Amino acid sequence: MFPILFSLLLFAPAQDLARNSTAARPGGQSEGGRPDLHARAEQARARGDLVAARKIYERVLAATPRDGRAAVGLGETLLELEDFAAAEELLARVIRALPERPEPRRVLALVYLRLGREKEALAEAAKAVELDPKSPEGHVSYGAALNAVGRSAEAIRAFQKALAIRPRSLPALHGLARVYAALEDPRAEATFEQVLAIAPKNLSVRFDLIEYLWQVRRFEEGNAAMERLLREIPPNPKLHGHYARALMEQNRFVLAAREFEQACRGKACDSELLELWGSALLENGRFEEAASRYRDAISTSPDRISARHTLGRLLLLKGDASAAVDELRRASELQPDSAPVLLDLGRALEASGSLVEAESAYRKALQLEPALSRTHYALGTLLARTQRREEAREHIALYQDYFQKEQEHRLRQSSRRAELNLGWTQLKRNRLEESLAQFRRHPDDVEALRGAAAALSRLGRHAEAAKALEHALVLSPDDNRVRHELDREYARRRAK
């Protein structure tokens, strides 16, 4: 149906499309008592029956190809159905036929955002605002596009313009909350709560608030909110998958394995989810189950290198050297420039008795990554086994040197993470001087500088806070959070 519909739309004058948008009547009736198909389509979308809405819009356009309201409604429905190709094709054709209409441009901008084509989204959204500057929907699309290209301050202003036109606009409030969340601005939580006051059951808003809580290290609050959400809604594998990933990042592997199981219950999981599930099981010591999930991941995506690599290491750990060689050889073929894969392939070959091949794999690994301590150790012990003791001693000495450096680096990293975590915890508890002392242990770390600035700002020392953020911006000039916090600190300093 679409090609005929598109060709008819191309010849529809803009004024005809505008006139053919019949207003919905009470009870879903149009003038003359006929059922209002527009109202039925909108009701279907409101209750989440997008397939029905799509069919109704297609029926309207088959009968009345010049109906602009139906064309835009169909584009929005296709966007919600994630049929991005069909949505783009429809809306692009409508725009070519009606270049002065802002509505299809606004929706096309959102389609481009979902496709990751941010610059095209920004161009369409900007044109839509130019065509109709009084439309809150236009400013919402423009704000979303600005945020996607990293122009956060302008995005905030766009959403605020939409709210000035329509103060309780849910899309505008939600968009503003998302910008604040991306910037880790404390106003994010209050703005999310404003949206939920209007639409308390909105799944997208509730999930975005949970993600914000995780992002700002309020893990227990975020987890509790997610548990409540999952109890209140029908089974939702996608949300269980998101929760499982968050739990993995929190090193809560037992709970993560449970959530991965829920995410994959009754549906086909993708290879990434299956591999992560395997990793959670592996961390729990459930080796057989972990191996099964890695095999499932490989079956779903045979070229998944990381799954083959980890499965090979697991098989070697279980003593199945031959099977480990098969997996690791395939992983090495897929990624021949990976020193860690070559190292583990060498270990598997050595365990299976193929010493010459093992030595070759170790030497290739060292050519790729000379400072990898474990490879020097593996090659040194193999050389010792084959009576080449002088070269073996050289590699063991290199192993000890590189291993010491690696351990010192890990210790520094671990200490840094612990001190920053403590600093943020103390800041949350309003122990500002103690928090500041922790952050100042790392004067050239962006995260520490942001924390120090937050503590200084709450102490009223805005000039020092701004100086810390200026240094952070030098270290990370593309970090929008730092730029946003610095702008706010300048404003506080001027207001003093």
- The radius of gyration computed from the CA coordinates of the chain, to the nearest angstrom, equals 29
Q: Six-digit token pair at 37?
A: 């198909």
- How large a percentage of the chain has pLDDT more than 90? 81
**pLDDT tens-place string over residues 416-444:** 999 999 999 999 899 999 999 999 999 99
pLDDT at 139 over 80: yes
Residue type, 300: T
Q: Is 29 helix (H, G, I), strand (E, B) or coil?
A: strand
Q: If phi over 0 gives left and psi between -120 and 50 gives alpha, with beta otherwise, what is residue 45?
A: alpha
Q: Do the beta carbons of residue 275 and residue 290 sit within 8 Å?
A: no
Query: Who's near 411: CB < 8 A, 6+ residues apart?
Result: none
CATH superfamily of the 430-495 domain: Tetratricopeptide repeat domain (1.25.40.10)
> Mean of the pLDDT values across residues 444-462?
94
> Mean of the pLDDT values across residues 168-181?
95
> Mean of the pLDDT values across residues 215-231?
95
Residue type, 120: E
Query: From CA 94, how far away is CA 418, in angstroms rounded?
Result: 56
Of the CA atoms within 13 Å of residue 29, those in its CB half-sphere come to 6
28 DSSP assignment: G
**pLDDT tens-place string over residues 252-308:** 999 999 999 999 987 778 999 999 999 999 999 999 999 999 999 999 999 999 999
